[in-house]
Amino acid sequence: MSHCCGSSGAATTTTTLKVEGMTCNHCRMSVTKALKELDGVTDVVVELEGKKADVTFDPSKVSLQDLKEAVVDAGYQVVD
């Protein structure tokens, strides 16, 4: 009942979201937390000054749209 070699299950990808509305460190934390709470998101790096969020996620578990919605739900805007 075991698969052959290959220990890591998740094939993750990284995307960068452009986030508007973050003004302080608290905002950065809010966006980070909102994204990290999503199932399938493995890493989040938010840059306040760069107005962006680098998100590493498993696309089989969570979609880009889900990421955007999480940011919007937290009270910020994602721009294309």
Please report how close the Cβ of residue 42 comes to Cu ion at its closest, in angstroms: 25
The residues that bridge with 54 in the sheet, in sequence order, are 16, 45
Q: Is residue 70 within 8 Å of 15, Cβ to Cβ?
A: no
Nearest to 57 by CA among 49, 67, 47, 48: 67
Give the count of residues interacting with Cu ion (CB under 5 A).
4
Please report how close the Cβ of residue 38 comes to Cu ion at its closest, in angstroms: 21
Closer residue to Cu ion (CB): 11 or 24: 24
Please report how close the Cβ of residue 27 comes to Cu ion at its closest, in angstroms: 3
Backbone angles phi, psi at 71, to 5 degrees: -65, -45
Nearest to 11 by CA among 60, 72, 64, 75: 60
Residue 3 sits in the site that holds Cu ion (CB under 5 A): no
Q: Pick out residues in 21-80 that bind Cu ion (CB under 5 A).
A: 23-24, 26-27
Residues forming contacts to Cu ion in the complex (CB under 5 A) are 23-24, 26-27
